[in-house]
């Protein structure tokens, strides 16, 4: 199944370097991660998945979504030039 890895750009919590606290304080205007992104998909051997545990959530907004990128890739058609 794979093993947890340390995220290369954000320091993990003390004693558990593979775990990152994702937090947005009331005065912050930018969310953690900024815009749509795919966690470590660029690595030569990317992790098999990501996990998120929400301990406190706002009554609305703040949506986090997950996508199966392998499924998307298999559904994408080949370019028209390749079909000729």
Q: Per-residue confidence of the chain (84 residues) as pLDDT tens digits?
A: 667 888 888 899 999 999 988 887 888 887 776 666 667 777 888 777 778 888 887 788 767 777 777 777 777 766 655 555
* CA distances from residue 46 to 17, 26, 39, 54, 79 in whole angstroms, order as listed: 17, 33, 9, 23, 26
Instruction: Please compute, for residue 59, the number of CA atoms within 13 A of its CA located in the half-sphere on the CB side.
Output: 0
46-69: pLDDT as tens digits: 777 778 888 887 788 767 777 777
Residues whose CB falls within 8 Å of the CB of residue 44, separated by 6 or more in sequence, listed in order: none
pLDDT at 31: 74
Tokens of 19: 């775990």
CA distance 46 to 61: 29
Q: Which pLDDT value is given to residue 38?
A: 66
DSSP secondary structure letters along 69-81: HHHHHHHSPPPHH
Kindly report the average pLDDT of the chain as a whole number.
77
């Amino acid at each position: 199944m794979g093993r947890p890895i340390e995220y290369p750009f954000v320091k993990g919590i003390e004693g558990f370097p593979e775990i990152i606290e994702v937090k947005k304080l009331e005065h912050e205007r930018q969310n953690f991660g900024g815009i749509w992104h795919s966690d470590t998909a660029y690595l030569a051997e990317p992790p098999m998945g990501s996990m998120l545990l929400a301990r406190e959530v706002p009554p609305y907004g703040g949506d986090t979504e997950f996508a199966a990128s392998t499924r998307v890739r298999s559904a994408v058609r080949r370019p028209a030039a390749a079909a000729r």
